Structure 1
Amino acid sequence: MSLVDKGAETTAAGAREYLTFRLGQEEYGIDILKVQEIRGYENPTRIAHAPAFIKGVTNLRGTIVPIVDMRLRFNCAQAEYNSFTVVIILNLRERVVGIVVDSVSDVMELTPEQVRTAPDIESSIDAQCIRGLGSVGDRMLILLDIEKLMAGMDMGLAMAGD
């Protein structure tokens, strides 16, 4: 039995686990099953004419991985690279993509009762890419559908099956 299978066994009925991370003052969550690994930030190789939020590519054990800076993608005030800056390597529909975030917080289990529909407001994130808002105590998480977000036309990333 793999580690993922054991984790799925211990979750409450209908509960999902999310990796939480910070971008500025906001806290986001993505499905833990999409996460391959977490790495420290290293400058990627820049690609000419790529959108500003695509920082470039990196070689991850023989796989060329595009690196997307989520702070730039979501129009955060500034994107500062420090010792807390990390790259979350995602495995999305047989495509490996890295996303740069300010920091990773933890893994949280949310039951369906803890997830609310996001209000329909104007934002830099397409509303279809937000699964909902998760609340745990006084924490509010913006739960992203990371596959939809990375497959968006403005991302410039061709995803398998598109």
Structure 2
Amino acid sequence: MTATTLRSAAAQYCTFWAGGLCFGIAVEGVQEVLRYQSMTPVRRAPAAVHGLINLRGQIVTALDLRCLLGLPARDDSALPMNVIVRSRGEVVSLLVDDIGDVIDTAGLDLEPAPSNLPSTVQEVVTGVLSFPETILLVLDADRAVDVTTVPDPSGGTP
């Protein structure tokens, strides 16, 4: 193991896509994945907060991962999927483009994030895992859901 590689902390990752990038969160941090859920808008919330969903009686904030990472907006005709994650004792929904598989990464080394990624993505990625068909960006859910660091040029949802 070299100074630039780290042993992958998790053995399995739940994978998903946002803005053409493949992300993964350790399965221990994912509660469930769901198809699109209707949302209640939150007035004056940051742009990344798309609304609240009712998850079997629990109110969950839905955050658009594309917006959080400064990626181009999703086409209005494409409905997002929900990755329900646990972060800092809370349950949060990350709105993503598509859900992938749960993949086993046992024995793979976590490499540093490439410098050509947008800085907003680099800030929330703990490293990458290389596969023949894609590069998996390992997402730190705690950093990703931090809406206080997201620039909000729109001034929030009216």
Partner-residue secondary structure (3-state), 2:50: strand
**Who is 1:40 aligned against?**
35
Kindly indicate which of the two structures has a greater share of residues assigned to helix: 1
Q: 1:138 Cα shift?
A: 2.9
- For normalisation by structure 1, the TM-score amounts to 0.76
Contact 2:69/2:121 (8 A) holds in 1: no
Percent identical among aligned pairs is 28
Q: How many equivalent residue pairs?
A: 144
Moved over 4 A (4+): 81-84
Partner-residue secondary structure (3-state), 2:145: helix
1:44-100 deviations in whole A, cap 9, x for unaligned? 111111111110111212211000011222233231356763111112232010011
**Who is 1:49 aligned against?**
44
Structure 2 unpaired stretches of 5+:
1-7, 151-158
Q: 1:122 Cα shift?
A: 6.4
Alignment of 1:76-95 (within 5 A): 76-80=71-75, 85-95=80-90
**Equivalent of 2:132, from 130, 137, 141?**
137
**Equivalent of 1:97, from 69, 72, 92?**
92
Alignment root-mean-square deviation, CA? 2.6
Q: 1:116 Cα shift?
A: 0.7
Q: Which structure would you say has the larger RCO, counting Cα contacts within 8 Å and 6 or more residues apart?
A: 2
Q: 1:17 Cα shift?
A: 0.8
Alignment of 1:8-157 (within 5 A): 16-80=11-75, 85-111=80-106, 113-120=108-115, 123-125=118-120, 127-151=122-146, 153-154=148-149
Structure 1 unpaired stretches of 5+:
1-12, 156-162
Contact 2:124/2:144 (8 A) holds in 1: yes
